[in-house]
Amino acid sequence: MAIATAILVGLLGLLIYLLVKYPDRSIGTKPRTDLNGPKGLPLIGNLLDIHKNEKGLIMFVYETLMEYGPNATYTLPGMGRIITINNPECLEHVMKTNFEGYIRGKMFYKLLHDVLGDGIFNTFGNNWRMQRKLSSHLFNTKNFREIIYDVFEEETKKMLNILDNFAKSGKSLDLQDLFFRFTLDAFGKITFGMDFKCLTNPDNPVQFAKSFDFTQRVLGNRLENPFWSITELFTKEGRKMREECKYLSEFGNQIIENRRNDLEALKNPKDVVNLFMNARKDNGEKLTDRELRDIVLNFIIAGRDTTAQALSWMMYNLMANPSIEEKLVKEVNSLLSEENPISSYEIVKQFQYTQATLYEALRLHPVVPDNFRVCLKDDVLPNGIPIYAGELVNWCSWAIGRDERVWGKDAKIFNPERFLNSEDGLKPNQYKFSSFNCGPRICLGQNFATMEAVMLTTAVLRQYKFEMTPGQKCPPDYACSITLPMKNPLLVKVHHRCVAEVQTADNQTLM
């Protein structure tokens, strides 16, 4: 009894000590009186602030930055102290100038590992460099001309046929789901030489896609739950997560096994799977099947999710802004015709207003909205703010895109002209417009995604007009995920454009 009492008193004393030491921040963090930020609760910091926010971490970071300035701080248990850097100069320092001094860190590696493993999105150092170097072979000019364009054209024709059927039937369709099907089919053919048949059977659910979407939602939830590794052991979501990860792992392994057994496909020197299967690491060894599987799944998230989500947000904004849609259609009609209804490789870059509209959608709805890096060694940002080893640096591209200090007073307004009228034009400063990431980790597939989106958008809008079905929330909510999908289906009615709208106007110019 005396021992139990002593233990209880000791624990109570420890608790009081911790409450006094960490009165407004998470346990294990040092005070930063030199930085502004919302005060937290003892031991758990700002965890409840995030959970009280209906839109989670992204909106919490945005509201924190709007209230406390371009740099602010908050704390979370398990993550420690987090310092936001909502200005281009600081982001350039972290992602370029001192690139080696900031890494994803063990905590985030563990958080993402059961889905992304050691793929390019979840690794650093030599492994990342090797994967990036080999991946770059996919996106060379010759591949664009010989492989990528042909697949985009083929899949675009399938999309047009599906839309034609919906226009004739008058039924509503989920445009976001259709974009996911398009990008998965296209990327599967280009990268792995396989057809997922998502557009061939547009009414049938795609098990791989369902599993992939579920696991990403769970990864998003983990960012807001520092105790996920414990709670997932006992929850229904945790059990389902383990099942879906097993399915994805088996799916990736099957791609590798099928390739090893396909002697004809193994001869294709441009296939990404072949590139990695034939590659050797610094020690001279070939990649294991586990490593190849991780690479496959990372490629799919890059090729499927990001472009499909960008297209979804772009189409919503066009429906919400008819005058912008009218200008885009004028550009389309000036470059496409009944004889040439799909853009050729040579003229894709001429769709400048369309590309600007895509970039504007990505500015406000970046497909990777939130990023974190761990500081390895004490550092000082260009604005004089010290970052201490072990502290996290966070930038939220979703928040940056809405920040008037970065984009001007019309930051929250959808305005493609900002990319046409600025000094940077259609090559914006990557540390200001970080939707394709930035620095050495800038997206290798930026031109790939842009071509895919522009080809599909222009072909579709030349023939069809979309109308949101009543009763949907505008603007749509985003889902909790590591990327930025819409939370609910984007339900639309499809209409054929009238003859006057689709006629080629030889002398039309954008206003």
Binding site feature residues for heme: 443
CB 95 within 8 A of CB 109: no
Residue 460 half-sphere exposure, CB side, CA atoms within 13 Å? 28
Nearest to residue 72, comparing CAs of 63, 171, 80?
63
Q: What is the DSSP letter of 204?
A: S
Annotated binding site: 443
Instruction: For residue 83, report the phi and psi dihedrals to the nearest 5 degrees.
Output: -120, 120
Instruction: Please give the span between the terminal C-alpha atoms of the chain, in angstroms, as a whole number.
Output: 85
| Residue at 153: amino acid letter | E
Nearest to residue 215, comparing CAs of 183, 196, 240?
240
Q: How far apart are CA 379 and CA 94, in angstroms?
A: 10
Is 125 exposed, middle or buried (CB count within 10 Å of its CB: 0-12, 13-18, 19+)?
A: exposed
Helices and strands per DSSP (H, E), number in the chain: 22, 10
Is 427 exposed, middle or buried (CB count within 10 Å of its CB: 0-12, 13-18, 19+)?
A: exposed
Beta strand 80-85 with 392-396: parallel, antiparallel or unpaired?
Answer: parallel
On the question of a cis peptide bond just before residue 475, with omega within 30 degrees of 0, the verdict is: yes
Two tokens, residue 292? 């190849």
What's the 3-state SS for 128-181? Answer: HHHHHHHHHHHHCHHHHHHHHHHHHHHHHHHHHHHHHHHHHHCCCEEHHHHHHH
Instruction: For residue 190, report the phi and psi dihedrals to the nearest 5 degrees.
Output: -70, -45
Q: How far apart are CA 363 and CA 495, in angstroms?
A: 28
Q: What is the DSSP letter of 82?
A: E
